Amino acid sequence: MSSPGLIDVHHHALPPVYIAALAQHGVSEAIPGQDFPAWSPELSLQFMDAHNIQKAYLSVTAPGFGGLTGPEAIGLAYDVNSWLATLAAESIGKFGAFAMVPLDSADTARVTAEAAIEDMQLDGVGLYTSTAGQYLGSSGLDPLWEYLEAQQVPVFIHPVVGSVQVPSFGLPASILEFPIETARAIASFLFSGTLDRFSGLKLIFTHSGGALPALLHRLSLRSSVDPLLADKPPVDLMTSFGRMYFDVAMSAAPRNLEAVRSLISTDRLLFGSDFPLQSESYAGANADVISSMDIARNTTANARNLFARHPVSPA
């Protein structure tokens, strides 16, 4: 039996309105040293057709809001979300989308999310691992989490370059810093109590959890290595970690997959290509490897369940 078409939850859009808004503020790179790639909906459809991808959920990649705050960030989110909603509606089931949501304040974030989910009918929200040095799990966003949990919509969390300067050793941020940034964001959820207060959140982390799977055991030892933590409420790390979803973008190597598969149920794995930030050849090879593996059917079934609000049509 042939493998069902993949459902891609990590697929980036670069709307013209987004590129233009960031250019006005002197931002022309997705990450330091890497310009935004050429992109159009047609290029995504060609990539999808070539690699057995039946549907892609679009999100805006790093640098996210590119330093825009306040009314400018709110305006950018509205323009981008409107553009994505129109594209998704006209794509006849080929595209879904995650809304951009500025995090200047929890109330503004909630209002933006409500408009995107209820009025524009987007499929979920896309957030970034940190904003101005504040990580998602510890940034006072309870009104937003309350709404997203109640609506049961997916929350796609993508890494960005953090506010602290760290040595890159000549490597692109996507190679070394993004996995570490993702680990920081996951840790912020694990230790802030956010997942205890909002256990029904549907959080999607990228790149098989970044560096976190390798660190989970070390994190579980926190009270034994730091006496200051001994009186803190215990956190069931495995249970909390197991509530999250993970895409397998840039993770087709067996060693990468086994690391996260050893820690979570296969019903939490999702396919992600990272196109077009990853080249067609690399992202395509990743997709082809996943299609050939036994987890391909799992990732497709998992995505169908996760996006039940707007059901994916049969391939």
> What residues contact residue 50 under an 8 Å CB cut-off, 6+ apart?
280, 284
Could you report the per-residue pLDDT of 83-119, keeping only the tens digit for each?
999 999 999 999 999 999 999 999 999 999 999 999 9
Q: Which of 31-35, 84-88, 233-237 has the highest mean pLDDT?
A: 84-88
Would you identify the CATH topology of the domain 6-306?
A: TIM Barrel (3.20.20)
Q: Residue 13 and residue 96: Cα distance in Å, rounded?
A: 11
Q: What is the per-residue pLDDT for 163?
A: 66
pLDDT for the residue 3: 64
d(CA 189, CA 118) in angstroms, rounded, equals 26
Per residue in 242-299, pLDDT (tens digit) is: 899 999 998 877 777 877 888 888 999 999 999 999 999 999 988 988 888 888 999 9
Instruction: Determine the Cα–Cα distance for residues 124 and 51; give it in Å rounded to an integer.
Output: 24
Residue 76 and residue 66: Cα distance in Å, rounded? 11
pLDDT band at 1 (very low <50, low <70, confident <90, very high): very low
Mean pLDDT of the chain: 90
| pLDDT tier for residue 225 given thresholds of 50, 70 and 90 | low
Task: List the single range of 140-154, 224-238, 300-314 with lowest mean pLDDT.
Answer: 224-238
Question: Helix, strand, or coil here: 87?
Answer: helix
Is pLDDT at 231 greater than 70 in this prediction? Answer: no
Per-residue burial over 29-52, b = 16 or more CB atoms within 10 Å of its CB, e = otherwise: ebbeeeebbebebeebeebbeebb
What is the C-alpha separation between 219 and 191, in angstroms, rounded? 10
Q: Band the pLDDT of 313: cuts 50, 70, 90.
A: confident
Better pLDDT: 25 or 234:
25
Q: What is the pTM of this model?
A: 0.93
Residue-range domain boundaries for the chain: 6-306
The mean pLDDT value for 46-72 works out to 96
pLDDT in the model for residue 133: 83
Q: 131-189 pLDDT, tens per residue?
A: 888 899 876 899 999 999 999 999 999 999 876 677 677 777 777 889 999 999 999 99
| Res 229: pLDDT | 60
Determine what percent of the chain is predicted with pLDDT higher than 90: 63
